Each structure stands twice: as structure tokens, then as C-alpha cells.
Amino acid sequence: MKQSLPKSKQFAFAIGQLGWSTLMGIIGAYLVYVYTPPQEAGIPLRIPIIAIFGFLSVIGLVTMLGRFIDAITDPWIATLSDRSKHPKGRRISFMSKGAIPLALFTVLVFWSPVDDISEWNVAWLTVTLLAFYIFYTMYVTPYFALISELGHTPEERLNLSTYISLTFIVGTAIASAAPVIWGALEGFGIEKLLAIRLSVTILAVFALICMYVPIWAINEREYSDSKPSDMSMWNSIRGAFSNRDFVIFACSDLVYFLALTTFTTGMIYYITVLLQQPESLNSVIVAALAVSSLIFYPLVNWGAKKWGKKPLLLVAFSIFFIIYFLPLVMGDKLPIEPTLQAYIMVALFALPMAIFGILPNAVVADIAEYDKKVTGVPKEAMFFGARTFMQKLGQMLAMLVFGSALLLGNEVGNDLGIRITGPIAAFFCLIGLILMSLYNEKKIIGKDTASVDSSKQTVAK
């Protein structure tokens, strides 16, 4: 076994997630808002708002296509990474190739050529968003595979997952600061749309530097004992999805991200339309969520070691299910001051966000390690690639659902489309809760020895 990764390099590894989560936070929070803004935003509408087939929006279709391409490239990139014999390692080499284009296309997504409604803007958004997701996969899928390879025990993998969850929260909070940055730029007389574009550019440069920190700091060959796989992509995919517990977990993860993306995409609408507060409050709310979530990180890490990951994930699903009904009553339907309503939402979100921030990556790492012991075939990247495929499929469907919901109303006095996104998210969350209850954690971490022995005998046959 290779030597354990020192703490300093564990932190360097986590900084990589700070970078890409900032970029993903920008796309997730502002893409729909900038291209299909409410009237109160003061931003020119740049793509048609029409119903295709009576219920599909243009922005929903474009973002869905982006997520679809993103999802189907996951197994391809995972296989290339698993099979790589690059002298610098089969993960770091891919991350170094993906970082610069990922940051570049994050910026280009927002620099559409026409500052008015135009089919050229639809074409521009489609091309740049597809490129963004391809290079996102090239960086992120190998990055996640390193969790299994740099963490040699369940405890080490849990700690790595905790650290990268921390930087994910911070990255999301940094992305949420974009309205503060563009508000400051507007104060210097810069037109709002240009201010938004400059803000995205500034954050993308910061993110690029962060993504290169693990590439510069970690010698993959020194700390990872992984060997290239000789399995084809299809055999690797079949191998991952033949693991019953992985399928159960991945499906629960799909509906979790479907619910979460539906809700978080609507966050800026909840703030500006339902609560009728300024855009800058969204930055404050996300930052407050990050800080309040961090308070629970030590508790989640300790609780997972004491009770297991599955019970905590079930608790988080249950809390989310309740929270997601809030948009139905937010605003003047509650006898509570609007800003206070936003902070109450943050307080309720903190614990489940901490749980889902830390544990899913550790669960996939556990499954990958278990599968390698049972089958003798190392395919860590494929497990993470398959997991992110399901995750992105959920996000893709969420963008379609959210964009279509907005057709029912997305402005003050006509907000039905915004309000129903909450109950829709709750419905999917309930499905995730049911699926997660079927996951056999004891078998995966080796406490159910009878199940482990049975799996080995099945593979041997």
C-alpha cells in the first residue's frame, strides 16, 4: 500500500473542488436568470420565451441538451482515465487538460453575441454550454476517482469527502457573491449586463488557479497504488451497474439532484420575486447557508463514523422533503418579514446540506473499493463517472422541469410557475428517501460478512 496522503496535500486536493464548484455555481445560479430574467432584473431578454409542444421552454431545452451531453461523456472520460498509462498518473493528466477550457467556456456562456432576443444567442448558448460540460467532465470525473485512490481506508475517504465538501460549500458561496461584484461594478457606471460578464470573468480566473493547485501539489504516482484497467467502456459500465447497491444509491442520487437543482435554480427567483428583495440578498443567503452548514460538518463526520452514512442520508432526505414546500407560502402569504423568511430557510437547510455535502462521495468510494475487492478489477473512475452520469441526468431533468414551470408565471403578481417548483422538488425527494432505504451499507463496508462472501462466490462462478 502507498503512503497516506499528508494533511497539507489533502487540503491541496480539496482546493481543486473550490475551483470547479465556483464555476458550476455560476452556471447553476445565473445561467437561467441572465438569459430569461424577470422584468425587475433590468437585463435585456436575449432568447425567445415560447412554449415548444405547449410545455417546453427554449432555455429548458438548451440546458437539458447540455446536461445530456455532459452525462453521456462521463462513461467515456471515465474509461479513458481508468485505462490511461500516462507517466504523471491516470487522473491528474486529465485534470490538467480540462481546467483551462472549463474556465474559458464558463465565461463565454455569458458573452452572447446579440444583446437582444436572437436565434444567434440560442446557438451561442448551445455551443458554449456543451463545451463547458465536456471539459467539466474531463476535470471532475478523474478528480472524484482520486478519492478512492488517495484514501486507503474508509476513514481516510470520509475525511477527504469532508474536506472537498467544505470547499464545495465555499465555492458555491463565492459564486453567489457575483451579484455583489456586479453591483459594485455598476457603481462605477458600468452597464449591468457588462458588469455581470466581468464578474463571471473575475471569478473564473480565481477558479482556474484553484483547479491547478492539486495538479501542482500532488504526485499521483507517489500516493496512489491504482493500476490501469483493461476493460472496455461497455464492460466497465455493465460492471458498475451490475452492483445492486450502486444502482440503488445512484438512482437515489439522481432524484436528489433533480430536487435540489430545481430548488436552487429557483433561489434567486424566490428572493427577487416571491420575497421581492434585491439580488444581493441571494449572495448573503448562500454565504449564510455555507457558514451555518459548516457548523454541522464535525457532527456529520462523527455521526457517520458512529452510526453509518445511510441513517444520516435518510434524515437529510426527510428534512429536505419538508423544506421544499416553502415556496408555496413564501412572501406575503406568511406573516413574517421577508428577509427573516429567507434566513429561516437557511437555518432549515444547514444540516441536510452538510450531510449531502460530505457523505455521497464517501459512499461511492466505499462501493468502488468493495467492488474492487469482490471482482479484482479496479474501475474507480467508472463508478464516479456512472454516479455523475445519474447526477447530471437529474440536473438535466431539473432544468427542463424548472424552465417549463416558469411558463406558468415568473414575475411579481404572476408567480405560480415559481411557487410550484417547491412541491415538485419535494415529490422527487420522497422518491429518493424510499430508494435510499434499500441501500445495504453493512455489506458494502464489510460488516455483513455473509453478504460479502456470497458476492465473492457469485463473481467466482
The DSSP letter of residue 46 is: -
Amino acid letter, 417: G
Q: Please, what's the largest Cα pairwise distance for the chain?
A: 72
What was the pLDDT predicted at 108?
A: 96
- Give residue for cell 440546458: 63
Residue 425 near residue 284 (C-beta atoms within 8 A) = no
Residue matched to cell numbers 422584468: 39
How far is Cα 204 from Cα 144, in angstroms, rounded to an integer?
21
Residues 26 and 178: beta-carbon distance below 8 Å: yes
Q: Where are the domains of the chain?
A: 8-220, 232-443
The Cα 175–Cα 148 span in angstroms is: 28
Among 37, 45, 29, smallest CA distance to 179 is for 29
Sign of CA dihedral 114, 116, 120, 123: positive
Contact 132, 66 (CB under 8 A): yes
The three-point CA angle 181-143-179 to 5° equals: 10
Q: d(Cα 215, Cα 262) in Å, to the nearest integer?
A: 33
Counting every residue, how long is the chain? Answer: 461
Instruction: List, in sequence order, every residue forming a beta bridge with 414; answer none if it has no partner.
Output: 411
Whole-number pLDDT of residue 51: 63
Q: Could you tell me the three cell numbers for 249? A: 444509491
* Alpha-carbon gap, residue 76 to 236, rounded angstroms: 10
- Residue ranges in 151-279 assigned as alpha helix (H): 154-176, 178-187, 192-217, 220-223, 233-241, 244-265, 267-269
Cell numbers representing residue 376 in the block: 479484482
CATH superfamily of 232-443: MFS general substrate transporter like domains (1.20.1250.20)
| Whole-number pLDDT of residue 162 | 84
Rg (CA), the chain: 22
Indicate if 232-443 has the same CATH topology as 8-220: yes
Please list, in sequence order, all residues whose beta carbon lies within 8 angstroms of the beta carbon of residue 377, skipping any fewer than 6 positions away.
Answer: 229, 231, 239, 371
How far apart (Å, rounded) are the C-alpha atoms in residues 409 and 414? 5
> What is the Cα–Cα distance from 23 to 17, expressed in whole angstroms?
10
45, burial (CB in 10 Å: exposed 0-12, middle 13-18, buried 19+): middle
Q: What's the CATH fold of domain 8-220?
A: Growth Hormone; Chain: A; (1.20.1250)
Per-residue pLDDT 10s for the chain (461 aa) are 567 778 888 899 999 999 999 999 999 888 888 888 877 777 887 777 766 665 567 877 787 787 778 777 877 887 788 777 777 777 888 999 999 999 999 999 999 888 888 888 889 999 999 999 999 989 998 898 888 778 767 777 788 888 888 898 889 889 988 988 998 999 999 998 899 999 999 999 999 999 999 999 888 777 766 665 666 667 777 777 888 999 999 999 999 999 998 888 888 889 988 998 887 787 788 778 878 888 898 999 899 989 999 999 999 999 999 999 999 999 888 889 999 999 998 899 999 999 998 899 889 888 988 888 888 776 666 787 778 778 878 887 887 788 788 888 878 788 888 899 999 999 999 999 999 999 999 888 875 444 444 444 444 44
Helices and strands in the chain, H and E counts: 20, 0
